[in-house]
Structure 1
Amino acid sequence: MFQGFNLNVSNESRFDSPSTYDEILKSREDNVRESLENFYNEEGLLNGDSLRKEWFPEIENCHVFISHSSKDRELALKLANWLYHEFKIESFIDSTVWGFADKLLKQIDNKYAYREETKDYSYEIRNYTTSHVHMMLSNALNSMIERSECLLFLNTENAIRNISLKEDREQYTFSPWIMAELQTSALIEKKQSPNSQRPFGSLESNKTDIESIVKRAKSFQMIHKANVEHLNNITCENLSEWAKDCNGEKGYNALTTLYRDYAPGCR
């Protein structure tokens, strides 16, 4: 990662453009397997490294990592389309792998945690399986932040709340994934992109019960401090100006102009 930006979104209509990038994103999702059977070794153990590479693959040659609230998935897709249409910039959208984590966890839990006699799941086993899957997902996201040249954080009301705790007004998020991604981007060593030579671098019977449990679990909320101080602040208006200043530049060259205009350390 070379630079990060805190994008305050006020008008998403600025990102209206042909959906040329949708097929690229869909092709990535289609490559993910839907079975666990190919990942057992001779001893009958699941190979976590092979699972991570298949279910949460590292995407080559992504210019930008887009961090966002799950509620802003459509906005993130519109931004990715706009970046590709304007600059041929390829994006990694983190929510495209969150769904994979849920699918993988469901397959594992159906095989190991479901109790036929009581028609429910073992709490202890689910805690254990969830920790494995979430750690694989976290490692995969951290790796993609490190490999991408630029991080764009979509700062919306869905992602960030201004909350006053003991008279200290700070920005907080309800999402542990946003908290982790922002913290990773703050700690990761900024470096020139290796890709650039520039100086910048079947359970139908109890389905209703399970759904009610999931719904109740999702009502749980915990706040986490959103560390955005290390990111350069930009707006949708800044992105529009960037598009005008690029004069047809694409890919990494277009990002160079963005850094020059809105990242003080690169001027």
Structure 2
Amino acid sequence: MYRGFNLVIPETLNDSFTEKGKEIHSEMTEKINDRFDDLIAFNGIINGNKVIEKWFPIIECDIFLSHSHKDQDKAIALAGLLYKNFGLKTFIDSTVWGFSDKLLKAIDDKYCMHENQTTYSYEKRNFSTSHVHLMLNSALNKMIDSCEAIFFLNTPNSVSAIDTIKDSTNSPWIFSEIATTQTIRKKTPKRLKQETRTFSSRISLSESVKEQLTVEYELELSHFTKLTLRDIQLWINKAKFSNSNPLDELYSLNQINSKFLIDG
């Protein structure tokens, strides 16, 4: 990862981009092998590395899009916009790796079901869920590391304002993705000689309420550059008359003016 952008755009995007976005991500999902029984060894042990490789493969993309699953349609339209205007491929985990629940159910049905075949063991399900979520989180971290840029789709579905300064999210996955961008090595593309910076992270947990568990994570977005629909239009206009990599044009429009650290 090289740069992060805090994307604040209207509630809707042009529907003309949606079909292209769906087409791109249909091609990506074809690479997923979501068969589970093939991953069980003769001794009954599941090969976790093979599960990650088959169910959550690393796919070559330019941009990782962090978003709420409630904004999946907007995310798909944004992916179509970025591809049609810049030829950039966007990774949307909810469309490519939306198989984690299916994987978890396959494991639970086989290993966690009580003898009555109607309920699951609480302890066994805790164990299986921790494994599947660890697999998914590991794959997400690798995917973020492999993409050059990360866009955070900042909407009311992904962020709830604590006050006028801080933002919070109820999504553990969004928190994990943003936290990852603060800790992974910042990699300058070979075509650039620009310096990048690293950041510290912090976390704040609110108390859960009765009956419905709610956990809030404070999001540290200071290392993300704010990007609006107007900024994207400026980017499109500039890229039309340039032979440079379109991401370079985005970076040039949004220079980093804080302290820098040369990456390794």
* TM-score over 0.5 (shorter chain): yes
| 1:31 CA drift (Å) | 2.9
1:30-66 residue CA offsets vs partner (Å, 9 max, x unmatched): 3323321211224221100000010001002x11000
**Counterpart selection for 2:231 from 232, 238, 242:** 238
**Paired residues, number:** 243
Percent identity, please.
Answer: 37
Partners in 2 of 1:172 and 1:118 — Cα distance? 40
1:238-264 residue CA offsets vs partner (Å, 9 max, x unmatched): 0011101112557x7000000010132
Partners in 1 of 2:102 and 2:168 — Cα distance? 28
After TM superposition, where is structure 1 displaced by more than 6 Å over at least 4 residues in a row?
none
User: 2:24 corresponds to which residue?
Assistant: 24
User: 1:264 corresponds to which residue?
Assistant: 256
**Counterpart selection for 2:172 from 169, 176, 182:** 176
Q: CA RMSD in A?
A: 2.3
Report the secondary structure of 2:98's partner residue: helix
| 1:117 CA drift (Å) | 1.9
Partners in 1 of 2:182 and 2:77 — Cα distance? 26
User: 1:222 corresponds to which residue?
Assistant: 215
Report the secondary structure of 1:121's partner residue: coil
TM-score (normalised: structure 2)? 0.85
| 1:70 CA drift (Å) | 0.8
The answer for unaligned runs of 5 or more in structure 1 is 202-217
Is the CA contact 2:34–2:99 (under 8 Å) kept in the aligned structure 1?
no
Residues 36/14 of structure 1: CA separation in 2 closer, same or farther (3 Å cut): closer
Residues 219/97 of structure 1: CA separation in 2 closer, same or farther (3 Å cut): farther
User: 1:255 corresponds to which residue?
Assistant: 247
| 1:13 CA drift (Å) | 2.5
Residues 19/118 of structure 1: CA separation in 2 closer, same or farther (3 Å cut): closer
| 2:184 is the counterpart of 1:185 | no
Residues 58/248 of structure 1: CA separation in 2 closer, same or farther (3 Å cut): farther
Residues 97/132 of structure 1: CA separation in 2 closer, same or farther (3 Å cut): farther
Is the CA contact 1:171–1:226 (under 8 Å) kept in the aligned structure 2?
yes
Report the secondary structure of 1:7's partner residue: strand
| 1:86 CA drift (Å) | 0.3
| 1:198 CA drift (Å) | 4.2
Is the CA contact 1:18–1:85 (under 8 Å) kept in the aligned structure 2?
no
Report the secondary structure of 2:7's partner residue: strand
Tell me whether 21-30 or 223-232 shows the greater mean CA deviation. 21-30
Residues 79/234 of structure 1: CA separation in 2 closer, same or farther (3 Å cut): same
Partners in 2 of 1:98 and 1:31 — Cα distance? 11
